Amino acid sequence: MRYGDIEVTRDGNVAQLEVQRPPNNFFDVDLINDMADAFEELEKDVNCRAIVLCAEGKHFCAGNNFGKPRSEAENRARAEGKGNPLYAAAVRLFDAKLPVIAAVQGAAVGGGFGLAVMADFRVVCPDTRFTANFVKLGFHPGFGLTHTLPRIIGQQRANQMFLTGQRINGETALEWGLAEVFTDRESLRDEAMKLAQEIAENAPLAIRSVRATMRQGLADAVQTQTDHEAIEQARLQRTEDHKEGVKAVAERRVGNFQGR
């Protein structure tokens, strides 16, 4: 089955969703909505008990596709004060019913990091890089990261990532509890599938029930947080520092920020 640039395959009780926008797998609102559509379709089948989320190419997801113009629907929603449609789509992912295991190779940057954190579990390898580099862009974190990341690695480590914009590798992610499995790149999907199958061998109604309890209120909390994130992003997007940050990151240099 295909949902835009996402291919869905089944291996018994486990579904694999592969994002196919190599090498960087930049996302946009269409991709996130397609992913949510796939999640919601799979959860209609009681025989589907877990999802492996993976990506084709060098990187898991290098963030938002800032080079793609916004659609008319996006511009209209923003003009009408309805917030960021991307985050409405993201909330749909958090509201899904099936456990998700992310197989993360290469970079998971910015919103791509948020996408990886959306999953229940992460499988990583030596070249995995997680980066919340928003401040280097003169920008505010999004995709609900300001709520989800502290829940996993703690407030102080999340503060450290947000305020420095530093990146952490797969070994550090495992040490910090951001990943559950560390393996070589060649075994990444196999290990993700192994964890998914370990979940999927259990009673499907119980899996969904326990997961719903453990994530109770998460989608609502992400909705509230993304509403705030979107306001801060819109404000900072109008600053000179943001323009300089985007330019500096593209040129691989430290930004010359002026606080305006």
Is 165 within the bounds of a domain?
A: yes
Residue 146 lies in a domain: yes
**Which pLDDT score is estimated for 84?**
87
Q: Residue 198: which of 181, 183, 220 has the closest Cα?
A: 181
The predicted-structure confidence for 46-70, as pLDDT tens digits, reads as follows 999 999 999 999 999 999 876 666 5
Is residue 235 included in any domain, yes or no? no
Range of the domain at 41: 2-204
Question: What's the pLDDT score for residue 70?
Answer: 56
Q: Is 49 left (phi over 0), alpha (psi -120 to 50) or beta?
A: alpha
Bridge partners, residue 104, by sequence:
124
Mean pLDDT of 28-44: 97
Greater model confidence, 186 or 80: 186
Q: What pLDDT, on the 0 to 100 scale, is given for residue 65?
A: 73
**Could you report the per-residue pLDDT of 73-129, keeping only the tens digit for each?**
555 555 545 568 999 999 999 999 999 999 999 999 999 999 999 999 999 999 999
Domain count of the fold of the chain: 1
Provide the residue type at 28 as one letter. D
> What is the pLDDT at residue 67?
60
Residues in the chain: 260
User: What's the whole-model pTM score?
Assistant: 0.93
What CATH number is attached to the domain comprising 157?
A: 3.90.226.10
**pLDDT tens across 133-163, in order?**
999 999 999 999 999 999 999 999 999 999 9
Count the alpha carbons within 13 Å of 56 in the hemisphere toward its beta carbon. 11
User: What pLDDT shows up at residue 78?
Assistant: 52
User: 260 pLDDT band (50/70/90 cuts)?
Assistant: very high
**Sign of CA pseudo-dihedral 148, 151, 153, 158:** positive
Q: Treating both helix axes as pointing N-terminal to C-terminal, what angle do 155-164 and 145-153 enclose, rounded to 10 degrees?
A: 130
Q: Characterize the bridge pairing of strands 14-19 and 50-55.
A: parallel
* 46 Cβ neighbours under 8 A, 6+ residues apart: 204, 205
Q: Is 253 part of a structural domain of the chain?
A: no
